Structure 1
C-alpha cells in the first residue's frame, strides 16, 4: 500500500499518527515500542481520525528529529526518516518514520521500556523486560531445564500413554524397547547436562508426577460465579492440576457441569432435542491455546471464569509479535509443548485454532469470541446466546415460523412470557391475527398458555 492508503486504514499495531513535531517525545516512545515488537511506521502530520494535517519542513527538521531519537533511545536506534507529499505536488508534507524490529531487546526510551500492544504503547515492568531479553537469546521457556527436577519425577505411565496416543493419531510407531532417557531427549522433554539427563519445563508439564510442585503457576483455576461480575461468591470452583492434557479434561468437565442445557420438543420431533449454551469444542480449544501459548515466566495462573452471560479464559502474556486474533499465525511461544500436544491430536500446526473457534461459534448461533490483549495477559470471552440459540435449532427440525412468530419467541426468551396485546404491539397486527399465530405456536409445541381471560400469558415450553 502507498502512504495515503496506509493512513486511510487507521492506526494499528504497526501504524501510529502524530499531529505535529511538538509530540516528538511520543514519537521517540513509539520508536521504542515498535523496535521491541515487530517494527512499524510513525506518520507525523496526521490526526487520529486519519485527517492529513501536514507539517512545515525546515532546513534541519529531519536532522533534529533523528538526533532526538538517537539521544533518547538505548541501545541507540536509527530509523529511516523521510518526507512524503500526500496528494501530489499540491498535497501536504508528512514525515514518515520507518522503524525495524530491533535484534537486541529491550530498546529503552528515556530510560523506560515500552512495547506496542494493539494501537497503544504499554510500559514494561521487570518481567516484561526480562521476557524480551529472553526472546532475544532465543531460549524458549519450555526448552529450559526445570530446576530441582530429576528423571525420578517423570511418570512412566504418562509416557506410555503419550506413545500410544501418538501412534494412534499420528501413526508414529512405538519403540520396541522404550528407553525413557533417550525418548525424552529426542522429543525435547529432557536435556543432557554434564552427562546427566534432566527434564525440561516441557517434560515436567507433560509427563511429570506432580507438575505443580515445580511449576506452581501451571495450575488451571476454574470457577462459576453468581451473576455477571467477579465476586467472592462462587457457585462452584475447581483448581485443575496434573499434566497439561489432564487439566484440559478436568476443565472441560467443569465447563459442561456449569453451563446451561437447553431442551425442547416440537410437533415434528417426538424426541427431546438438547443443546448446550456454548460449543464445548470451541471452549476447549481456547483453553488449550491458553495453556500452551501462555507466558510461563509470569507467576500468574491460567483462569477460566464462568458467569451468567459469558465465559472468560485468561492467560498470562500477549500474542506473539506479528500475530493478532484477526490474522492468526502458527508462531509457538512454547514450541516443545506445541509439538507434544500436536503428537496426541489436541492441536494442529497451522494456526487454525482461532478459525475453528469462530466457525464453531457461527454454527452454534453465538457471537464470535472477543479478545482483550495487554502486555500482561490475554483474555478471551465467549458471550452466551441465551435461549435464543434454540430458535435456530427449532427451524432445523422442520417447524415453519413466520418472522412475527420468531420475534415473539425471542420476546418470550427475553421477558419470560408474552400476552396477546404484547404480540399485537410487537408485530403491529390485530387481536385476531395475534390470537391465531400464538395458537399456532402452541400447536407446534413451542408455547404454553397460562391463566384465563385477559390474564392469559404465553410461556415457553423449552
Structure 2
C-alpha cells in the first residue's frame, strides 16, 4: 500500500474495521481473530493509538505471519508494507471468516475500536449460529435406551423405512438407530429422543407444536380452539397436519369437460404439511423457552418457528439455498419422505401456489435473528365468486381426447377439428394454457399438451 493510502486510513481513525498498533506485540493476535470472527478489518502496525507514526522493522512481518498461522484455526490475511515519513508501516488485511477463530485459547470479536473476548455462553451461541454445535448431535445425558419407544420403531417406523428404501432392515432396531446417529455410545442422542422417544417433552419441555384457532382475522380473547401436539416428531407432524386439513374449507366446481366435480381446498395441502414439518425439523431446540406456534385465522394460517434463518439465507433466496439446523433429524425425516431430501420443499410450495386454480397470494416470510414467521393466505373469499370456465366445442373435443390418450399434439388437434387453420389451433391451445386446464411439454415440433 502506498503512503497516501496509509495516511487516509490513519485520518479515518480506529473503529469497527481499523486498529492501530505502535509496535509488535503478541496481542496483535487478538485483533486478527476479532476481525476474522466479526468483519473485514485492517491493522496498521507502526502507528500508535493517536495516529502518530512510530514505524517498525521489516523483520516484524515474519513475526506477524507466525501469529496469523498460530491462530486456531489459521486466519486468512495479507500483509503489505508501506512507507510514511520514511518509516516502515505494516498493513495487515484480515478477511471475515466462516469459521470461529481463537488466539491463545480465547475467542475475540470486534466491538467498535476494541477486541472483546467472548464469555462461555456467547461462545456456545456463536457455535450454534454458525452450525458448529448442533443440538440434535448431542447425547441426551438424562435419557437411557429405556426412554426410546421401541414398539413405535418396530410397528410404524421400520415398515415405512423399508417401503421407501425398498430394502429390508438388516440387524436389530438398535443398530438401525445407531446408523441413523440417533444412538451413540449406548445413549440416545437428542435427535433420537425427539424422533423416537416415548415422551420427548420429559427432557425438552417445549418441544411440541401449539395451535390456536380464531374466528376472525385478529387474535381474540376467546379462541375457537387450542391444541398442543406432543409425542415424537412424527406424531406431532401427522396429528397437526390432520387437524388443520380437517378444518380447511373446500369448494367444488364442475369443469366443462368433466362429469365429476373438482374439489379445491382454500390452502395448498402440500404447503400445509411441508410448513409443519419444516417447523418441527428446523426449529432451534437449544431455545427451550419457546415452541412452534401455529395460528389459524379466517383468512390465513401463521407458522411461528423459534430460530432465525442462518447466515446467507434470506426470505428472498430461501428457495435457492439449502439449510438444515438439525441435520440428523432432517436426514431421518427424509428417509421416510416426511421432507424433501434434496431441499425441494420450498420450490414445491411455490409451484403448488402457481397451479392452484384460485391463484392464492404467495406465502409471506418474515425473519430475524431469533425466529421465522411464515404466513399462508386463504382463498376462501374467492369461493363466493362464481368461477366459470368457458371453452368452445373444439377445445372440449381436445380435452376429451387428452383424457382418453394422455396427451395431444398440434397435429392431432387439427385432425380432430377438421377445417380449422394452424393459427386457430394454436390460439385454442394457448387459451387452454391460460385457463390452467392444460400444460405444455417439449419444444417446437416435439411439443405436446397434457391435463394440468
Q: How would you bin the TM-score normalised by the shorter chain?
A: 0.5 to 0.7
Shift of 1:101: 3.7
Matching of residue 159 in structure 1 with residue 106 in structure 2: no
Distance (Å, rounded) in 2 between the aligned partners of 1:183 and 1:314: 33
Contact kept in structure 1, 2:169 and 2:176, CA below 8 Å: no
Distance 1:107 1:356, change over 3 A: farther
- Residue 345 of structure 1 aligns with which residue? 337
1:76 to 34, 43, 56: 34
- 1:37-52 to 2 correspondences below 5 Å: none
Matching of residue 286 in structure 1 with residue 281 in structure 2: no
Structure 2 runs not aligned, ≥5 long: 21-29, 43-92, 102-106, 394-452
1:356 to 344, 348, 352: 348
Any idea what the Cα deviations from partners look like across 1:305-350, whole Å, max 9, x if unmatched? 1111111101011122222343332222111001100110111222
Distance (Å, rounded) in 2 between the aligned partners of 1:387 and 1:137: 42
Q: How many residues align?
A: 315
Shift of 1:358: 0.7
Distance (Å, rounded) in 1 between the aligned partners of 2:391 and 2:122: 55
- Residue 297 of structure 2 aligns with which residue? 307
- 1:231-242 to 2 correspondences below 5 Å: 231-242=220-231
Distance 1:132 1:345, change over 3 A: same
Contact kept in structure 2, 1:220 and 1:247, CA below 8 Å: yes
Distance (Å, rounded) in 2 between the aligned partners of 1:137 and 1:353: 21
Match of 1:218, SS state, is: coil
Shift of 1:269: 6.2
Match of 1:295, SS state, is: coil
Matching of residue 317 in structure 1 with residue 307 in structure 2: yes
Match of 1:226, SS state, is: coil
1:146 to 117, 128, 140: 140
1:224 to 206, 209, 213: 213
Shift of 1:134: 3.8
Distance 1:137 1:277, change over 3 A: closer
2:323 to 302, 327, 331: 331
Match of 1:223, SS state, is: strand
2:285 to 292, 296, 314: 296
- Residue 254 of structure 1 aligns with which residue? 243
Any idea what the Cα deviations from partners look like across 1:258-313, whole Å, max 9, x if unmatched? 33222345787665443211011111101111111111011210011111111110
Shift of 1:130: 3.4
Distance (Å, rounded) in 2 between the aligned partners of 1:302 and 1:389: 30
Distance (Å, rounded) in 1 between the aligned partners of 2:176 and 2:13: 54
- 1:185-196 to 2 correspondences below 5 Å: 185-192=178-185
Q: CA RMSD in A?
A: 3.6
- 1:50-61 to 2 correspondences below 5 Å: 60-61=7-8
Shift of 1:59: 6.0
Contact kept in structure 2, 1:325 and 1:354, CA below 8 Å: no
Distance (Å, rounded) in 1 between the aligned partners of 2:201 and 2:261: 43
Structure number with greater CO (CA < 8 Å, separation at least 6) is: 1
Contact kept in structure 2, 1:190 and 1:198, CA below 8 Å: yes
Shift of 1:357: 0.7
Distance (Å, rounded) in 2 between the aligned partners of 1:370 and 1:269: 34
Distance (Å, rounded) in 1 between the aligned partners of 2:297 and 2:255: 30
Distance (Å, rounded) in 2 between the aligned partners of 1:257 and 1:127: 44
Larger Rg: 2
